[in-house]
A and B are shown apart, each in its own frame.
Chain A
Amino acid sequence: MGNVLVWFVWFVAAFACLGSALAVVSFQNPFYSALALIGNLGSLAVLYLLLSAEFVAAAQVLVYAGAVMVMFLFVIAYLGGEADAPWAGGPSWQVLAAVCAASAILVEIVVAIGQTSGGRLTHAPAITNAFGSPSEIGRLFLTDHLLAFEVTSIVLLAAAVGGVILGHHSRVEDERRARA
């Protein structure tokens, strides 16, 4: 009974995930695309829960579907109608080439995973309750992956400084442009 339920939840989440990803790519209005991406991130969080990654699922909803997407929506609202992205433009051979390249990537991934796994992917080992718990993730971050943790902090600092510099409104520059 539990098995059937998990399969059902998996199917709903997987199809919601793929459908909303297609919606992100195909909507003309970026606002709707961003909303569809929120749905995509939410259904991915359900898949993470099924893989017993509770902490990552929580971080996904809080950080991604919360903070990052709010930033996206703010920028889209700030740009207003300027942000609209109609489908027009571009020769049809470009569209065809893009579809071909994307399917080639799909085939490549499937072949690469299939060849290297060699049928070893069917039996997942039993796990304890600690798997994916915040304490386990925190322990790994502070022991085995300390370097990644520290480098991430530097990257975040660089991104924050870069964001401030990019958004900086220079008065001198404005006056120069007004004169020109």
Chain B
Amino acid sequence: MLGPDVTWYLSVSAILFSIGALGVLLRRSPLIILLSLEIMLNSCNLALISFARQNGESSGQVFAITVMAIAASEVVVGLGLIVAMSRRKLPLDVDRLTTLRG
């Protein structure tokens, strides 16, 4: 394999995952939290694809594509919730959303 070992890709993936986790924990806007979730999902995809390359087995890439489809559906529902929140004049701040009642 030309270039860096799989270990290098895995370290990028680990750092990326913790950056995403930091975003989810730190930020209060549901939009930024969704974006950080995307970062975390993509870091998992990178790890899956690195392990697929390491084992010479394409199945990991199939998992990555499945994760991508799940992430797309999660974005649809999350953005739908955000739009519904803004239409009901709820604050876009996860700290102030203390009840689930519409």
Give A contacts to B, CB under 8 Å.
Answer: 2-3, 6-7, 9-10, 14, 17-18, 21-22, 24-25, 30, 33-34, 37, 40-41, 44, 47-48, 50-53, 55-56, 59-60, 63-64, 67-68, 71-72, 75-76, 78-79, 82-85, 89-90, 95, 97-99, 101-103, 105-106, 109-110, 113, 121-122, 124-127, 131-132, 136-137, 140-141, 144-145, 148-149, 152, 155-156, 158-160, 162-163, 166-167
Number of A-B contacts (CB under 8 A): 236
A18–B8 Cα distance when bound, in Å, is 13
Give B contacts to A, CB under 8 Å.
Answer: 1-12, 14-23, 25-29, 31-32, 34-36, 38-39, 42, 45-46, 49-50, 52-56, 58-59, 61-66, 68-77, 79-84, 86, 92-93, 95
> Nearest CB to that of A140 among chain B residues?
B62
A22–B12 Cα distance when bound, in Å, is 13
CB pair A24 B39 closer than 8 Å: yes
25 A-B residue pairs with CB within 8 Å: A17-B12, A18-B15, A21-B39, A30-B29, A30-B35, A37-B39, A47-B9, A47-B12, A53-B52, A68-B38, A68-B72, A71-B76, A75-B31, A78-B83, A83-B29, A83-B31, A85-B29, A89-B93, A102-B18, A109-B18, A121-B5, A124-B53, A125-B56, A158-B73, A160-B76
